[in-house]
Amino acid sequence: MNVMDLYKQWSTGISFDLETKAELLAIKDNPDEIRDRFYKELEFGTAGVRGLVGAGTNRMNVYVVRKLSNSIAQYVMSLGIEKPTVMIGYDSRNHSLEFAKEAAAVFAGNGIKVYMHSELCPVPAMSYSIRLLKCTMGVLITASHNPKEYNGYKVFGAVGSQLAPDDIEKIKEILDTLTDYSKIPGFDFEYFSNRGKITKIGVNIKNSYLKTVRRLVIDRNALSINAPKLKLVYTPLHGAGINYVPKLLKRLGFKELYTVKAQMTPDGNFPTVTVPNPEDGSVYELAIKLADEKGADLILATDPDADRAGAAVKNENGEYILLNGNQIGILLLDYIITTRKNKNTMPENPFVVSTVVSTRLTEAICKHHDIEYIDVFTGFKYIGGAINKHEDEGGKSFLFGFEESYGYLPGSYARDKDGIATCVLLAEVAAYYNAKGMNLLQALDEIYAKYGYHYETQVSLVFQGETGLEKSKEIMARLREMKNQISEMPVTNMIDYLASKKYVFGEEPVVVDIEFDKEDVLYYSFGDNWAVVRPSGTEPKIKVYFGAKGEDMDEAKEKAAKIKESVMATIKKLYE
């Protein structure tokens, strides 16, 4: 069907509810809005689906949830598992519970046993519970840190991580067969719930997860002494961390823990912030005000589904400085390694995983301590995949994994980012340094002085309109052809991960085959410095990452700025 046929079906058809019809009839004189809602369907990607809430095929609503759930149910049944089970959870966003119930009913209606969280469910608790109850798959209704207008449908596999590419393609094939939304069946949640086909899980699973996170503490004896001396402020940004982080921190002895009351109520409108993203410094405004009043040493924040955690540290001048994702990762990694070595609790054959767009300081720290370092692509599905391969199948011990976009995992109990555990461990690190008379910024300076000064920055390019996605693909193709001509600065080598080739440039250029997952990513080395270009895949966006190493931080920043200026000048010519 074309756009107007779809619009007519949704706005007048008997299969669609009155609220949906009213919403669509209100835009009958707005052809651009009609087109935007129906010219495509939401893209099913590595983490599922995410989009604006509203009526239409290009929006998140019960009919889209119904289609997704029926498709995944068919996929689950095709696996031939005798008694398949699916875990369902939801965050604090508007319509999350409604969409979760719709999904649960569809799975139950397809003969699949459903477990459903009875309260707000963070991403790490979702991943953990899937593994604990040995579920076939899981669905979490969340849009992470996106604006309030969004919601999403995040899909997990049996190991608690995002789906593998092969599984995604199989689900897409089923989705493509369900073309008529008016004929996709829905089911009654209460009917299946009353008949035991949907089982709500609550305090026992939650407590099991909380106990697991408490065990992540590296030096419990030192923490029992240091925790009471540290002043903390925490905000869940109206999200799922509310019922987890304060409970854990208090249990671990942080007596001077203060929470931002205005943000301690679950609210999908996120009324105190523009976007509930702990990467955004503006979300800390209320927390900083409280921290100033209490003289807090550290501010912690989690996003609505608590998979990401951010932090702000009070410096010597009493100002609160936001840590970036790489800095948090380095602080955690260095503390985990050095403390485990000092306590002789380092597991056998440890390994650390991070991404090709994250700081190279991770690799330097691991090399210094003779710990295996593994590079993967952006996205926690790759970190989860590395854990599966090297620990579950390879007999090694996963120590820590992180990506620069504020995602961290300090153990193999889950296969996705854990903002809750991050808060706990970062508080432990801060308490340790506080006992030494240092803040985390001073701790970072020590780390840089020991392993090298590294600086990272990035740029996002967004291309507007329906042709935006094609434009981003065209730019990637052009860059691939240009090879080392991306910059006026000499490129020592380039890795084309899509072609599985490494190009080494010199008097006699060499091309080497590499073994790595295939992704549309280009990695450029400028000696010790680097740049990475990658498209979004589902959005008309290209991200460009830069990193540099210097004798001091000023030199590292200067080098990164020069590479950024040169590379962006080349890319700019390709889209102007």
Task: Show which residues are catalytic.
Answer: 144
Q: Residue 525: which of 554, 558, 483 has the closest Cα?
A: 483
Distance CA 375, CA 325 (A): 17
Taking residue 467's Cβ as centre, other Cβ atoms within 10 Å add up to 11
| Burial degree of 270 (CB within 10 A; 0-12, 13-18, 19+) | buried
Residue 171, Cα to own-chain centre: how many angstroms? 21
Contact 404, 456 (CB under 8 A): yes
Contact 476, 522 (CB under 8 A): yes
Distance CA 385, CA 163 (A): 10
**Cα dihedral 185/190/196/201 (nearest 10):** 110
Residues with Cβ within 8 Å of 436's Cβ and at least 6 positions away in sequence, in order, are none
**Structure-token pair, residue 283:** 């979300």
Residue 373's H or E segment, with its range, is: strand 372-376
What does R_g of the chain's alpha carbons equal in angstroms? Answer: 24
Contact 63, 6 (CB under 8 A): no
Distance CA 428, CA 416 (A): 21
**Range list of β-strands (E), 463-562:** 493-496, 501-504, 510-513, 522-526, 529-535, 541-550
Q: Residue 266: which of 38, 510, 94 has the closest Cα?
A: 94
Name residue 2's beta-bridge partners: none
Helix (H, G, I), strand (E, B) or coil at 166: helix
Distance CA 416, CA 422 (A): 12
365 φ, ψ (degrees, to nearest 5): -65, -45
Residue indicated by tokens 């080739």 = 501
The span from the first CA to the last CA of the chain, in angstroms, equals 35
Three-state SS string across 281-335, please? Answer: HHHHHHHHHHHHHHCCCEEEEECCCCCEEEEEEECCCCCEEECCHHHHHHHHHHH
